[in-house]
Structure 1
Amino acid sequence: MKKKWILPFIVLMLFTIIASACGNGASNGASDNGNQEATATEGTSSEAANTSDTITYQSETGPVEIPAKPQRIVALTNGPNILSMDVTPVGVDKWTAENPLFKDKLKDVAIVSEEDPESVSALNPDLIIAGSHMKNLEQLSKIAPTIVYTWGKLDYLQQQLEIGKVLNKESEAQAWIDDFTKRAGEIGNEIKAKYGDNVTVSTIEIADKEVFAMGDHWARGTEALYQAMKLNMPEKVKNDTLKEGYHSLSLEVLPEYMGDFIVVSRDMTRDNEIMKSGIWSKIPAVQNKQVIELDTKAVTYSDPITLDYVLNIFKEGFLGTGK
């Protein structure tokens, strides 16, 4: 009887040992694989985190490593473009801060200057946007990643798209571009339908006793009028503003530069001697009450907020159908 039980017992023991070994091997294998997968996943996450933390922005001065979603921007330039995308800088230049279109949005924002890098540094920025003409750019770049733009190198639409890339809001920037171009083009077509395809518009700025004719990319609504709405400027204005973007005029020659309509940028809080002069009163556009006035303080930029603002004024001024 004992011999009959010995063999089955030995077989059972061997089976238990083998099964246990296989189980441990499988368990260890799973554990090893799990560790490898965890390591690989952590590596991917880390890379993803790095990718999401920063991006390489191709600026006009070369690649710049910037935060993927900057939180503390000092905008020494292009502050209005940033504001238009619902992002508020921690610091802006005084011209932006004093603009009536942005004052409320910037009431708690510091006013800084490139001439005082310490004031910029005190804001602990994670990104600085500056103009290529500005001083202390090298010192600013040591404070935080610094993107430099040359004014006028990009047109107003490209500039907004670039700011969209910087803010990780490129699709939003493109959506505005598409919408504005469409709306402005439609208004331009309505104006031509009412006054003729050859209707001309002059844009001038009156500052004290000086007058300047504006080209098609010198703010004051010119991008909207001539580029988006595709209205015509008088040939004399086009030729004389081609090089500098604007042209200084004497009062005596002013009538030679005036179109069927005149858009006047001026200080609206003050009377103006030029607009009270006999020469001004004899200009046909003035006599026909085809003068549209803009507050200079509000129209010195070409960002979406400003352009939407002037487009509404133009719609009312040309068509009497502003919202």
Structure 2
Amino acid sequence: MKNVQPKWRITALLLALLLTAVLAAACGQADQNKDPEGQALETSAGAEEKEASGTKTVSTVFGDIEVPVAAKRIVADDYLGSLIALDAIPVGTPGLHLKNPYYIEALEGVEDIGDYGNASSEKIIALQPDLIITATNDDARFQQMNKIAPTIAIPYGELKNAHEELSYFGELLGLKEKADKWLSDYDKRIAAAKARVDEAIPADATFTIFERSDKAVWVYGDNFGRGGQPIYQALGRAPKAEVADEIMEKQWKELSMEILPEYAGDYLVVTVGSISEWNLQKFKEDPIWGSLEAVKQDRIYLWPEERSWYYDPIAVLAQTEELANWLAP
């Protein structure tokens, strides 16, 4: 007799072979969607599907975050200058930013969400944001905000200049053309200010960024406000060679009055709490400040903290032109 297999057995065998082929193909595709270290990669099809649904994935210091492609209601506790430059005005921000003299008019109608670095969760929730932008590097604070809305955290110092900031947020918010246009104008104005200063001030003249209070004196680098970005980045000036590496690496340092002359360059840009309380004459009368050649020769620029503390692209542009007007009147 012939060994005849029942039809149901033949059908089962064919189904098993088909299932094995499908599983093998799926495993092969999964391997293609991994990088050499085995990390899963988002396929272009997956990315297109997300964008079609109005979201995209952004890598941050706290992991991948899915955010809206075109956020409409942004709450930002930092990076206000970049958002304003892109016409992406937030619905809420800390009160400190609402007092920024460089763009106070642009934030008319924006809600105050509380103290800088400690904004009110209740106020943020009430604004119903679809995106939160922050400079925090505190995990607990990030997690708290990320429960309210998708949160992008860019810790302070990660974006080091106007180009990095505008390029980042232009990409994040889908406003790359606006970012490019703003930066083109920024570069032209910075170049014009620098040309004026280069013509008026010797190339080897040294600059120092100080801040004075009743309790201490600090020196600053090129990415910590107080005029560091305009002087060291935009205008391309430098501190004294013997302290330059220390200043740029640490970005700020508290000084004793005894060592102040070691850091003082040919030109001083100094933040004071109030110019009415500490004007040029007060510096000249002080035994240590008054001994500095820059002070003797009136090569010292004073500005109040509410103008020098800000370091966003809008503030840096305005500060650069302000300083250029002093150096090359």
The correspondence of residues 1-323 of structure 1 with structure 2, limited to 5 A, is: 50-51=51-52, 53-113=54-114, 114=118, 116-134=120-138, 135-156=140-161, 157-268=163-274, 270-272=276-278, 275=283, 276-320=285-329
Note the residue ranges of structure 1 that are not aligned, 5 or more in a row.
Answer: 1-46
Structure 1 residue 189, shift from structure 2 partner: 4.2
Deviating 4+ runs (over 6 angstroms) = none
Structure 1 residue 269, shift from structure 2 partner: 5.0
Contact 2:60-2:152 within 8 A present in 1 as well: yes
Structure 1 residue 255, shift from structure 2 partner: 2.1
Letter in structure 2 aligned against 1:108: G
Q: Higher mean Cα deviation, 51-60 or 275-284?
A: 51-60
Contact 1:132-1:149 within 8 A present in 2 as well: yes
Over 3 Å counting, the alpha-carbon distance change for 1:52 and 1:287 in structure 2 is farther
Letter in structure 1 aligned against 2:155: T
| SS in structure 1 of the partner of residue 171 of structure 2 | helix
| SS in structure 1 of the partner of residue 323 of structure 2 | helix
TM-score (norm 2): 0.75
Q: Distance in 2 between matches of 1:51 and 1:208?
A: 57
Q: Distance in 2 between matches of 1:315 and 1:59?
A: 37
Contact 2:211-2:218 within 8 A present in 1 as well: yes
> Percent of aligned positions with the same letter in both sequences?
27
Structure 1 residue 48, shift from structure 2 partner: 8.6
Over 3 Å counting, the alpha-carbon distance change for 1:182 and 1:61 in structure 2 is farther
TM-score (norm 1): 0.76
Aligned length: 274
Per-residue CA deviations over 1:245-283 (Å, capped at 9, x if unaligned) read 111112222222111111112223541397241221221
Per-residue CA deviations over 1:172-217 (Å, capped at 9, x if unaligned) read 2233334434443443344333332211111111123321111111
Structure label with greater radius of gyration: 1
Note the residue ranges of structure 2 that are not aligned, 5 or more in a row.
Answer: 1-47
